[in-house]
């Protein structure tokens, strides 16, 4: 894909091939890293929301992770993590976002 971008006929075509190449690179990193990152995120949520057994199947894990994040988002919105409770929340947010960026756009991490 990157070769095709190099040999593209014009700027538009080159851009399209570059975007496609980037998307493939993201999928590759997702395949290699996402499972570990999801497990780390689950453990972080255990600390904040209480322990819960982690689902075995990948799809069940993804679905439940989303639900738990919705719960966390709602509790942040309600003010449950204001003040000192922030000290537990912020490292989790930082690590989780950093992991997402490691997959989506690793160049953004110096």
Q: Interface with other proteins by CB under 8 A: which residues?
A: 15-16, 19-20, 22-23, 26, 66, 69-70, 72-74, 76-77, 79, 81-82, 86, 89-91, 93-94, 96-98, 100-101, 103-105, 108-110
Residue 8 to residues 4, 15, 43, Cα–Cα distance (Å): 6, 9, 46
Q: Which is nearer to other proteins, 38 or 93 (CB)?
A: 93
> Are 34 and 101 in contact, with CB atoms under 8 Å apart?
no
Nearest alpha-carbon partner for 96 in 34, 54, 12:
34
Q: Which is nearer to other proteins, 55 or 75 (CB)?
A: 75
């Amino acid at each position: 894909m990157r070769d095709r971008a190099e040999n593209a006929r014009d700027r538009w075509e080159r851009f399209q091939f570059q975007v496609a190449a980037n998307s493939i690179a993201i999928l590759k990193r997702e395949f290699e890293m996402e499972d570990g990152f999801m497990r780390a995120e689950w453990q972080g949520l255990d600390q904040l929301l209480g322990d819960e057994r982690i689902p075995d199947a990948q799809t069940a894990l993804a679905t439940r992770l989303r639900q738990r994040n919705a719960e966390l988002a709602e509790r942040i919105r309600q003010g449950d993590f204001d003040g000192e409770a922030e000290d537990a929340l912020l490292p989790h947010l930082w690590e989780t976002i950093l992991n997402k960026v490691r997959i989506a756009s690793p160049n953004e991490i110096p």
